[in-house]
Structure 1
C-alpha cells in the first residue's frame, strides 16, 4: 500500500516538473524585430576638384639686416629677440659724443671760412685779387659740405625701425665696437604674413592661366583654414624636383600667432573641367567577395519617414588624388544612403534614421 502511494506521488511530481517549462513557453510573447539606427547622408553632385597638399613655410614680407653707416661703440641696444616694435622705435644707438664733437668742429670751420670770405669781399675795393675771393668761397663751400657729412654721420649713429618690425636676431652685443656696414640686428616686416611652397610645373601653369585654383592654409593643431593669394613666384625651377617656388599671402590675420619659419599645410584646389562627382566617405562602402563596391540606399516605408529598409546598390567609384571617394556611376543626386557602418547591414534590413545619442 505504501509502495503504490509513493509511485503515484513520483509520477505526479515528474509530470508537474516537465509541464511547467511548456506552460512558461506558451506564455512568452513572440520576439520583436530589432530596427538598427543608421547614420544617413544625401548624395550631392559637386564640381569635381583636384586637390593637392603642400608643405609650406611662413615668411615675412621683408627681412632685412640693419647696420650703422658709421663706426663706433654700441651704447644703447634696448631690443629683445622675438619682440615687435612700431615703425620709428629706437633699435640701437652708438656712442654719440665723438660724432657730436665732429659736428661742432665742422661748424667752427664753416664759421671761420665764412668770416674769411666776408673779410675778403669787404676788402675787394682795396685791390684784393679776385682769385683770393674765389678760393675763400671754395673753402667756405668745403666747410659746409664737411658739416653736412658730420651731421649725417651723427644721424647714422641711431638705428630706428623702418616699419612695424619683429626682431628676429641680435647680430651684435651691446657695448661692442662695430665697423660701418656691419649688421647688428635682423628684423622682419610682418605686416603681411606670407607662405612659400614648391609646386609642380603643371599646377604652376594652371595657377597662372586661370582663376580656378584656390589656395587654403591650415596651421598645426588648429581646424581653421585661411584663404591665400599669390603674391609672387620665382621664374626658374628647382634643380632637382622641377618645381616652382610660389609665394602666397594670407588675406586675413590668422588667429594663432605665427613666426617666420613656422610650418603650414597649404591645400591647392583646382576645378577639373565640367566634371561633377558625388563624394562619399569610405564608411559608406560595402565590398562583395570579388571586391565589387556597393552602397546601402535608404528607402522609407510606412508613414514614418525615419524608418525604412536598405537596398544594396552596386556603384562605380573613383579614388581622387586627395584620397576621397567619388561615385562615377550609381544612384542619382538626392538619394539617401547609409554613410557610416554600411558594411554591418544586410540587404533589405530595416533601419531607422540616427539623429543623435539617445534618440
Structure 2
C-alpha cells in the first residue's frame, strides 16, 4: 500500500543518522513526490528542502583544520675546498738541445763519436778535409816571421837617421797585416772542425766520412738531458692557481708504472687568444737517463682552491631568481640563495649565506614554504 502524504512528511522530518539513511530517505521522497503532486504545492517544496538538507555531508559545516608541518629529510652541510686535479698533455724537451751544422762547405774527413755517446763541451765531433787551409796557415805564419824580422831591424835604427821614419812605420803595419792573415788562416782551419758546444748526448749522425756537406747540412743532434724541460698548457680559468716552484707529477707511455716528479719554473706572459690557454714550463730531473727529448707526458697538477660550503646535489633547487637551498633554522624552512661553484662526487660546492653545519632539506621540498615550520623525520647525510 503506498504511503499517505501525511506519513511522507512525517518520515522526512526525522533526522537521518547516517549517509545510508539519508539516501533511503531521498528514495522515499521520490515516491512520495508522485503522490503529492496533486496536493498542495507547499507540501512538496517542504519535502524537497528537507531531503536536500539531509543529503549534504555533516562535516561540511565543521571549520577547516590548520595545516600540519610537512615532513622533510635533511642533510648536514660541510666545508670543503675547491681543489682541482688538472690533467694535461705535455711535451718534453732537453734543457739544452741543438742540431749541429758545419760552418763551411767541404768533405767529411772523420766522424769522431758513436751514437748515444756522452761528450764534453769542446770535444771534436767531425773533421772536414783541411789540407789547403793548413797550407795557407803555414804560409801566413812564414810571412809573419819575415815581417817581424824586418820590423825589428828597422826599429833598431830609429833615431839614427839611417832609415826614414815612414819606412819604419810601414814595416810595423806590414807585420800587423801578416798577423791578421795568420789569424784568418787558422780560423779557416778551425771552421773545418765541428765541436760540441756543451756537455750532452749525441744522436744519430746524418753523414759519414767522404760525404760532401754544405752549411745547410744537419750533421747530428746534441741534447743535455740531465734535466728535461716539460712544456704544457693550462686553461685561463686556472691561471690564478698556478705559481712557480709548484710541484707536479708526469707519466710517460714508455714507463707507465713510474711517476716522475717535477716543479714549475716558468709561466708565459701571454694567454693564447685562440685557445685561451697559457704556456707553462716545468723541469723533470733525469738522473737515470731514461727520458728523451720529444717524449710526451701525462701531466697532473694539484691546484688548491678556496673553501666553500658543500651540500648534497639534491639540496640545490632552482627558481625564478636562480639557484637556492632550503635551510632548516629554528624549526622553520628558510630559502637561502646559493651559487653553485663546482659539482664533485654527488655533492656541490655553493657560495651563499649558508654556514657549514647547518641542515638543508634534501627530500620533501615540494611542500615547503618560506618561514613555515617543518617536521624533520630523518637525516640523509
TM-score greater than 0.5 by the shorter chain: yes
* Equivalent position of 2:296 in the other structure: 263
Determine if the alignment matches structure 1 residue 241 to structure 2 residue 275: yes
Aligned partner (choices 101, 110, 115) of residue 76 of structure 1: 110
Cα distance in 1 between the residues matched to 2:113 and 2:146: 42
Does 2:175 align with 1:140? yes
**Shift of the alpha carbon at 1:79?**
3.4
Contact conserved, 1:214 with 1:270, CA < 8 A, in 2? no
Q: Distance in 2 between matches of 1:272 and 1:137?
A: 76
Deviation at 1:196, TM superposition (A): 1.1
**What is the CA–CA distance in structure 1 between the aligned matches of 2:217 and 2:268, rounded to whole Å?**
29
Please report how far the alpha carbon of residue 54 of structure 1 lies from its aligned counterpart in structure 2 after TM superposition.
0.4
Deviation at 1:140, TM superposition (A): 0.2
**What's the secondary structure of 1:127's corresponding residue?**
coil
Aligned-pair CA distance for 1:260: 1.3
Deviation, 1:165, is: 1.6
1:280-295 correspondence to structure 2 within 5 Å:
none
The aligned counterpart of 1:304 is: none
**1:325 corresponds to which of 307, 324, 345:** 345
- How much has 1:108 moved relative to structure 2? 0.2
**C-alpha offsets along residues 252-309 of structure 1, whole Å, 9 cap, x if unaligned?**
337671211111100111112135989xxxxxxxxxxxxxxxxxxxxxxxxxxxxxxx
1:158 is the counterpart of 2:193? yes
**Larger Rg computed on CA atoms:** 2
Residues 1:258 and 1:104: Cα distance change in structure 2 (over 3 Å): same
The alpha-carbon deviation at position 236 of structure 1 amounts to: 3.1
- Supply the distance in 2 between the matched residues of 1:234 and 1:92 (Cα, whole angstroms): 38
2:266 touches 2:282 (CA, 8 Å); kept in 1?
yes
| Paired residues of 1:164 and 1:190 also in contact (CA < 8 A) | no
- Aligned pair partner of 2:252 in 204, 219, 236: 219
Structure 1 residues 167 and 153: alpha-carbon distance in aligned structure 2, compared to 1, 3 A threshold = same
Q: 1:286 — aligned with what?
A: none
CA RMSD of superposed structures (Å): 3.4
- State the distance in 2 between where 1:47 and 1:121 align: 87
1:9-158 matches, within 5 Å, as 48-124=82-158, 125-158=160-193
Alpha-carbon offset, residue 186 of structure 1 = 2.3
Task: Provide the rounded CA distance (Å) in 2 between the counterparts of 1:194 and 1:119.
Answer: 62
For residue 271 of structure 2, give the secondary structure of its aligned residue in structure 1.
coil
Q: Is the 8 A contact 1:216 1:226 kept in 2?
A: yes
Query: Which residue pairs with 2:230 in the alignment?
Result: 195
Contact 2:110 2:208 (C-alpha < 8 Å) held by counterparts: no
2:263 to 220, 229, 232: 229
Is the CA contact 2:82–2:342 (under 8 Å) kept in the aligned structure 1? no
How much does 1:179 deviate?
4.0
Q: Distance in 1 between matches of 2:115 and 2:270?
A: 34
Tell me, which stretches of 5 or more residues in structure 2 are unaligned? Answer: 1-78, 312-339, 350-356, 358-381
Change over 3 Å in CA distance of 1:257–1:137 after alignment to 2: same
Cα gap change, 1:53/1:157 in structure 2, threshold over 3 Å: closer, same or farther? same
1:216/1:73 Cα in 2 relative to 1: closer, same or farther (>3 Å)?
A: same
Flag structure 1 segments of 5+ consecutive residues without an equivalent.
1-44, 279-317, 333-359
1:155–1:50 CA distance, 2 compared to 1 (3 A): same
C-alpha distance after superposition, 1:93-140 (max 9, x if no partner): 122322221221111010111122233334553532211111110010
Alignment size in residue pairs: 243
State TM-score, norm by structure 1.
0.58
Q: Deviations over 1:201-244 (max 9, x none)?
A: 22233314x87x54211222423322221222433333531212
